[in-house]
């Protein structure tokens, strides 16, 4: 379901509706929507009695302790993709045990040809690398409520990934980090992994009585196709994965403990900048040392309170650059900071009313997230030194920053209803001098049946902007209000997919704690898709055919956007994924409605565990927004991921966007990004990121003066050592260079960066 949410964002921005529902059933790495045999009787859910470990277990990837022999055995008998609950092509035996402090899982993954096992060193949660490797994963539904689960994955070398799976929100969050141990070992008959998860890293009900947890073990076995194997029988006509998992009985006498954690950090940086471009001298900046502290307290087994003083919200991973030419709406960049990612799924609603990257330089933060019984809550408050806003209309949006202190907070409450449905309320508020924004609303998720679901939300906002800002951006100079409505229906079954969505946002709706980049709209989006399933040894694993229709009007009834599309998708040998789409569109801009015909396509091939190739292409009509006219657009985006040995990896992506008018080039943008990593071991690596952008414009094709040539080069070198996600050392350097028609690439800034973090658990 998280895949569905991601694909929706992608298809709206790129027009690739082909990826929407095709991704839902194919991506365990994003959705975990599993399949089941179309005919035949569904077997009962399997239950396993877990017992205490009879001896001490050392997490070393060997499984030679007596405790493993006595532990309950859980096999993985079913392949759910590309097979439909067919017998698994390889055998897997997992054992589960526990003691007073930890849950232990050990698995022997057998392989007829162990030389083909794919395993590479990687950073934790590096999904691009992990999903090309053999690996094992585990779901723990610790409240056994079939709504939310902890997820842990490990490859044959012990590389970790962890996530929160929240099915009602359709969200799988790999930015969540837990402290746990893992080891892997490639053997003569396959590989072995062992993991130990401290109970204090989990949340589960209080009490001494025996508990039952939902559980699933799954295995990714990538060869010509990526076989996905599971311990539970799962149904392609049922989107509720957690309703179908195994059950672990007998977990008694366990508790998360005090769950008190202190994470002090020390950061130090120096930024040097050029006095004047291009001939100014480089001025050395001041060294800026910072001490910070974030503390976590498990108020109850289900509720976590986090507080931060002078918090370290630094981000050590550079954002992936995006094409900027001919874009008229604000670009979206995902949140990466751990403080805000804790319990992020609690704040999700159909309207993006909470987007924590609007908090930039906070002085302090407080956050409470968790669940008690049927009640889930999320609360956080921050004091920030910048006020980030998006000034949005139907036709465009621009992000701006106001240099003012702003106090903000979010309150979220959600209650479980029935087996899988929820209702919730949300409030967000931001206050500063001559400014406020409040948003409040109600929402619901309704699991109508196993294949049908609906999400609804009503949001009311009340705002007042500083007069100067309001006048500059054409907003009301006095307090104003607006509201929004979102309705989303989705059908996902074995052979059919369908969706119907409606979104209505007033011209004056503002949710400044969120990411709303377009307002004054009434939008409908409907489509249907046919799915044809193949086999693991055939020429295809899955085919998708479908049509879609989107229509957007403003609140005066003016048609601003319309799209009629047809799409096709293919999955097959060499882990090939192909999507094609053609559309006939109408788009209103600057008083004119344009008729546009476009085609899009993407392909990804993973012929081995060391190589992945991708290509995106788009061709057709477009609007030249700078000059208000129809143009021809070409986009091409090849990509390469290459692993050399177990230690080195290179990712290379190139993007070209070109606009032409009557055969003459208007603007051409090149964006090249390289990411080079060398892993010394599981805990440490060196990474180099390079981002180069070149934009060429023909001044004769513009009504207003433009720079004929601009270019920029950003580089970042980082050394990382991680004992665990919070006990870390980062040492980095970044460099920024700019150039134009009159000057070659010139260094305009550089930053030296050090961060040390430590996790102390009491």
What pLDDT digit, counting tens, does each position of 196-231 carry? 999 989 988 877 789 999 999 999 999 999 999 999
Same domain (yes/no): 130, 225: yes
Phi, psi of 64 (to 5 degrees): -105, 5
Among candidate residues 519, 535, 563, the one where a domain is terminated: 519
Assess whether pLDDT exceeds 50 at residue 260: yes
Phi, psi of 427 (to 5 degrees): -135, 135
Select from 641, 612, 759 the least CA-distant residue to 262. 759
Question: Residue 272 has which token pair?
Answer: 């040097």
Q: What percent of the chain has pLDDT over 70?
A: 92
Can you tell me the distance from the alpha carbon of 238 to that of 493, in angstroms, rounded to the nearest whole number? 7
Residue-wise over 456-487: b if at least 16 C-beta within 10 A, else e?
bbbbebbbbbbeebbeeeebeeeebebbbbbb
Which residues make beta-bridge pairs with 181?
Answer: 196
Indicate the DSSP class of residue 470: H
Q: Quickly count: other Cβ atoms within 10 Å of residue 622's Cβ.
A: 22
Same domain (yes/no): 346, 450: yes
Among candidate residues 471, 488, 519, the one where a domain is terminated: 519
State the pLDDT confidence band at 36, using cuts at 50, 70 and 90.
Answer: very low
Same domain (yes/no): 364, 512: yes
In a domain, 279, yes or no: no
Indicate the DSSP class of residue 11: H
In a domain, 415, yes or no: yes
State the pLDDT confidence band at 10, using cuts at 50, 70 and 90.
Answer: very low
How would DSSP label each residue in 715-739?
A: EEEEEEEESSSSSEEEEEEEEEEEE
Q: Could you check whether the bond before residue 82 is cis, i.e. omega within 30 degrees of 0?
A: yes
Helix (H) or strand (E) holding 80: strand 78-81
Please tell me whether residue 50 adopts helix, strand or coil conformation.
Answer: coil
Whether 178 and 162 have beta carbons less than 8 Å apart is answered as yes
Assess whether pLDDT exceeds 50 at residue 393: yes
542-551 average pLDDT score: 98
In a domain, 123, yes or no: yes
Q: Which range, of 78-82, 371-375, 377-381, 693-697, averages the lowest pLDDT?
A: 371-375
pLDDT tens-digit readout, 320-364: 667 677 788 877 777 767 677 777 778 889 999 998 888 877 778
Residue-level pLDDT at 410:
95
Q: Quickly count: other Cβ atoms within 10 Å of residue 110's Cβ.
A: 14
Among candidate residues 234, 251, 268, the one where a domain is terminated: 251
Same domain (yes/no): 356, 219: no
Residue-level pLDDT at 316:
60
In a domain, 21, yes or no: no
Residue-level pLDDT at 14:
33
Q: What percent of the chain has pLDDT over 90?
A: 70
Can you tell me the distance from the alpha carbon of 262 to that of 133, in angstroms, rounded to the nearest whole number? 34
Here the CATH number for the domain that contains residue 193 is 2.60.40.1190
Residue-level pLDDT at 258:
66
How would DSSP label each residue in 212-230?
A: EEEEEEEEEEESSSEEEEE
Same domain (yes/no): 235, 337: no
Q: Quickly count: other Cβ atoms within 10 Å of residue 15's Cβ.
A: 22
Contacts with 655 (C-beta within 8 Å, 6 or more apart), sequence order: 323, 635, 636, 637, 669, 670, 671, 672
Question: Residue 529 has which token pair?
Answer: 């898709």
Higher-pLDDT residue of 733 and 301 is 733
Can you tell me the distance from the alpha carbon of 137 to that of 121, in angstroms, rounded to the nearest whole number? 17
Assess whether pLDDT exceeds 80 at residue 539: yes
Whether 732 and 715 have beta carbons less than 8 Å apart is answered as no
pTM of the model: 0.85
In a domain, 199, yes or no: yes
Select from 194, 271, 60, 411 the least CA-distant residue to 754. 271
Same domain (yes/no): 61, 203: yes
Average pLDDT of the chain, as a whole number = 89
Same domain (yes/no): 130, 239: yes
Same domain (yes/no): 245, 328: no
Can you tell me the distance from the alpha carbon of 63 to that of 57, in angstroms, rounded to the nearest whole number? 8
Same domain (yes/no): 86, 231: yes
Residue-level pLDDT at 312:
59
Question: Residue 189 has which token pair?
Answer: 């008959």
Domain count, the chain: 2
In a domain, 438, yes or no: yes
In a domain, 110, yes or no: yes
Can you tell me the distance from the alpha carbon of 158 to that of 139, in angstroms, rounded to the nearest whole number? 17
Same domain (yes/no): 341, 487: yes
Residue-level pLDDT at 311:
63
In a domain, 601, yes or no: no
Same domain (yes/no): 197, 335: no
Can you tell me the distance from the alpha carbon of 688 to that of 706, in angstroms, rounded to the nearest whole number? 33
Residue-level pLDDT at 12:
35
Can you tell me the distance from the alpha carbon of 640 to that of 636, in angstroms, rounded to the nearest whole number? 14
- Domain of 85 in residue numbering reads as 32-251
Select from 564, 561, 570 the least CA-distant residue to 594. 561
Same domain (yes/no): 476, 331: yes
pLDDT tens-digit readout, 571-616: 999 999 999 999 999 999 999 999 999 999 999 999 999 999 999 9
Please tell me whether residue 476 adopts helix, strand or coil conformation.
Answer: coil
How would DSSP label each residue in 559-571?
A: EEEEEEEEEEEEE
The per-type count for the chain, helices as H runs and strands as E runs, is 6, 43
542-559 average pLDDT score: 97
Residue-level pLDDT at 313:
55
Assess whether pLDDT exceeds 60 at residue 15: no
Question: Residue 516 has which token pair?
Answer: 């709303």
With vertex at residue 653, the alpha carbon angle to CA 647 and CA 659, rounded to the nearest 5 degrees, is: 175
């Amino acid at each position: 379901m998280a895949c569905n949410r991601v694909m929706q964002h992608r298809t709206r921005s790129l027009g690739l509706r082909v990826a929407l529902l095709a991704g839902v059933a194919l991506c365990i790495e994003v959705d975990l929507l599993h399949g089941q045999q179309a005919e035949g009787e569904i077997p009962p859910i399997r239950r396993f009695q877990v017992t205490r470990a009879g001896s001490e277990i050392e997490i070393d990837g060997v499984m030679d302790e007596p405790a493993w022999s006595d532990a309950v055995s859980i096999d993985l008998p079913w392949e759910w993709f590309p097979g439909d609950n067919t017998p698994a092509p390889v055998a897997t035996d997992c054992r589960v045990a526990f003691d007073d402090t930890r849950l232990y899982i050990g698995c022997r993954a057998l392989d007829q040809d162990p030389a083909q096992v794919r395993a590479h060193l990687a950073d934790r949660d590096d999904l691009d690398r992990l999903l090309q490797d053999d690996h094992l994963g585990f779901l723990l539904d610790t409240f056994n409520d079939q709504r939310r689960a902890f997820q842990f994955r490990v490859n044959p070398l012990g590389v970790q990934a962890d996530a929160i799976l929240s099915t009602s929100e359709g969200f799988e969050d790999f930015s969540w980090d837990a402290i746990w141990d893992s080891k892997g070992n490639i053997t003569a008959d396959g590989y072995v992994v062992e993991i130990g998860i401290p109970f204090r890293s989990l949340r589960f009900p209080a009490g001494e009585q025996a508990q039952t947890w939902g559980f699933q073990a799954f295995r990714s076995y990538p060869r010509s196709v990526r076989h996905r194997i599971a311990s539970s029988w799962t149904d392609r006509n049922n989107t509720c994965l957690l309703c179908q998992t195994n059950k672990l009985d007998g977990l008694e006498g366990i508790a998360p403990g005090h769950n008190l954690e202190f994470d002090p950090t020390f950061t130090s940086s120096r930024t040097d900048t050029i006095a004047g471009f291009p001939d100014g001298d480089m001025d050395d900046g001041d060294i800026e040392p910072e001490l910070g502290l974030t503390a976590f307290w498990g108020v109850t087994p289900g509720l976590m309170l986090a507080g931060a003083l002078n918090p370290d919200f630094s981000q050590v991973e550079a954002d992936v650059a995006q094409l900027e030419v001919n874009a008229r709406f604000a670009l979206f960049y995902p949140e990466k900071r751990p403080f805000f990612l804790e319990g992020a799924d609690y704040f999700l609603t159909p309207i993006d009313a909470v987007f924590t990257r609007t908090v930039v330089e906070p002085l302090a933060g407080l956050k409470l997230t968790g669940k008690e019984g049927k009640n889930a809550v999320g609360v956080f408050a921050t004091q920030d030194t910048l006020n980030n806003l998006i000034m949005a209309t139907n036709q465009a949006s621009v992000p701006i920053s106001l240099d003012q202190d702003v106090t903000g907070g979010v309150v979220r409450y959600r209650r479980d209803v029935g087996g899988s449905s929820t209702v919730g309320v949300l409030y967000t508020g931001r206050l500063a001098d001559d400014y406020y924004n409040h948003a409040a609303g109600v929402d619901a998720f309704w699991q109508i049946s196993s294949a049908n679901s609906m999400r609804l939300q009503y949001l009311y906002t009340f705002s007042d902007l500083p007069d100067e800002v309001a006048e500059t951006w054409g907003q009301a100079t006095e307090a104003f209000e607006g509201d929004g409505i979102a309705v989303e229906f989705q059908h996902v079954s074995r052979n059919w997919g369908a969706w119907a969505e409606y979104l209505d946002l007033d011209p004056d709706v503002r949710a400044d704690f969120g990411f709303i980049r377009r307002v004054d709209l009434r939008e409908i989006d409907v489509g249907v898709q046919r799915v044809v399933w193949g086999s693991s040894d055939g020429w295809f694993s899955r085919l998708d055919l479908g049509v879609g229709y989107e229509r957007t009007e403003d609140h005066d009834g003016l048609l601003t956007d319309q799209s009629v599309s047809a799409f096709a998708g293919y999955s097959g040998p060499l882990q090939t994924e192909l999507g094609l789409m053609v559309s006939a569109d109408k788009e209103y801009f600057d008083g004119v409605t344009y008729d546009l015909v476009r085609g899009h396509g993407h392909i990804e091939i993973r012929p081995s565990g060391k190589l992945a190739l991708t290509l995106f292409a788009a061709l057709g009509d477009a609007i030249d927004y700078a000059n208000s006219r129809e143009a021809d657009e070409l986009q091409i985006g090849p990509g390469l991921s290459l692993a050399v040995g177990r230690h080195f990896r290179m990712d290379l992506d190139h993007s070209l966007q070109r606009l032409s008018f009557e055969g003459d080039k208007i603007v051409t943008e090149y964006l090249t990004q390289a990411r080079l990593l060398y892993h010394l071991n599981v805990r440490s690596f060196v990474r180099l990121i390079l981002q180069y952008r070149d934009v060429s414009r023909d001044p004769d094709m513009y009504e207003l003066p433009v720079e004929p040539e601009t270019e920029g080069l950003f580089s970042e070198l980082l050394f990382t050592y991680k004992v665990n996600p919070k006990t870390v050392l980062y040492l980095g350097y970044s460099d920024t260079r700019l150039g134009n028609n009159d000057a070659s690439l010139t260094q305009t800034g550089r930053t030296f960066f050090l961060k040390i973090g430590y996790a102390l658990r009491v």
